[in-house]
Chains A and B, each alone.
Chain A
Amino acid sequence: MIRLLAVPLLFVASLAAGAEFSTLLPQQSSITFVSKQMNVPVEGSFRKFTAQISVDPAKPETGKASIEIDLASIDTGNTDADEEVAGKAWFDTKNNPAASFTSESINNIGKGQYQVSGKLTIKGKTLDTRAPFTLKQAGGVLLIEGTFPLKRLDFNIGSGIWGDTSVVADEVQIRFGLAVAAKK
């Protein structure tokens, strides 16, 4: 009985001792978004992104993350829209192929939630951005999940005729689920 317990206890102990999670598992990670078109929520995603993350679930406040998203890898669920949003009025992916986020600080905001603050750069514009997230650990994988609102017009995403927010709302919900494995 003691032996049976000993193995999981040792495992837990090793995690508590400050295991660092830093290897992104792209297959299990996702960055999706929900925009509102004519008041209809429509989901999309980015297929390609990279992330340098180091988080110790015992001390999340010391964690660091920088994420880079390949904007041309967008999947809006509609081929015409995929082409449209690559254009000048939207992401202008020719001149701005990537969006990036670099964390500056992480705070415990209670109820098992943390908040990361940092700089988000899209289309040449950098703004302070904050996002709440939670940490879940399962099978040697740490899952970092959160949702935050982004105002697309702050970054000139969808300008010109698309600036009409009665058709495409200004606020877009960004959801991230980053699966990170322990450092090897």
Chain B
Amino acid sequence: MTDRYTRTAVTLHWIIALLIFTAFPLGVYMHDLPLSPDKLRLYSWHKWTGVTIFLLALLRVSWRSTHRPPPLLASMPQWEKFAAHAVHYLLYVLILAIPLSGWLMSSAKGVQTVWFGVLPLPDLVSKNKELGDSLKAVHESLNFLMFGLVIAHVGAALKHQFIDHDETLAQMLPFLGNKS
């Protein structure tokens, strides 16, 4: 019997993944658009998705801190284990840091973030053009970093599944079943 992530961790993992795969391309697409009502709509949806990711990431990280994930397979070489831990750790940091940087950027640019147009998030910084531009750069850089890490993360999962033929992906995708 493969040791797996808890059902809660699995659910949060895939919901957050789905939301990131929505918010990221939306962010890349929307920022170059000429100003229009659609652009303002997309910005709002992007922010709402980001706030949702942030809240789910808080849940995920607090769940992770109280529920040990399954150990990496003993068959993995040491460098792979190190790389896996490093990427996981960074991704946990980024799913919190990226929405946070977006939220702060929005405040610094003078636009409060109002979740689903209903729940206003406090402005933790006040309007400031220079700060807004810096936070934009931070938000973008963190996203590029995440982009690279997600490619490594997905690539590694596929390698375990299709080249190593081990149970790594099944730990996070229960329907793959038990291979051993």
Q: A-side interface residues toward B, CB under 8 Å?
A: 37-43, 77-78, 80-81, 84, 161-162, 164, 167-168
Contacts and interface: CB of A to CB of B under 8 A. Distances in A.
A37 B35 contact: no
A106 to B, nearest CB: 34
A77 B108 CA distance: 10
Contact of A167 (B40, B109, B113, B114): B40
Given A37-B40, A77-B127, A167-B41, A42 B35 contact: no
Nearest to B43: A38
A164 B40 CA distance: 12
Would you call the interface of chain A mostly helix, strand, loop, or mixed? mixed
Given A38-B117, A39-B117, A77-B127, A167 B110 contact: no
A162 B37 contact: yes
A40 B117 CA distance: 7
B23 to A, nearest CB: 16
B146 to A, nearest CB: 26
B109 A161 contact: no
Contacts of A161: 36-37
B104 to A, nearest CB: 15
Contact of B35 (A38, A40, A77, A80): A80
B112 interface: yes
B44 interface: yes
Interface string B16-41: 00000000000000000011110011
Contacts of A167: 37, 40-41
Contacts of A168: 37, 40
B36 A40 contact: no
A162 B39 CA distance: 11
B90 interface: no
B151 interface: no
Contacts of A41: 112
Given A77-B109, A77-B127, A80-B35, A39 B114 contact: yes
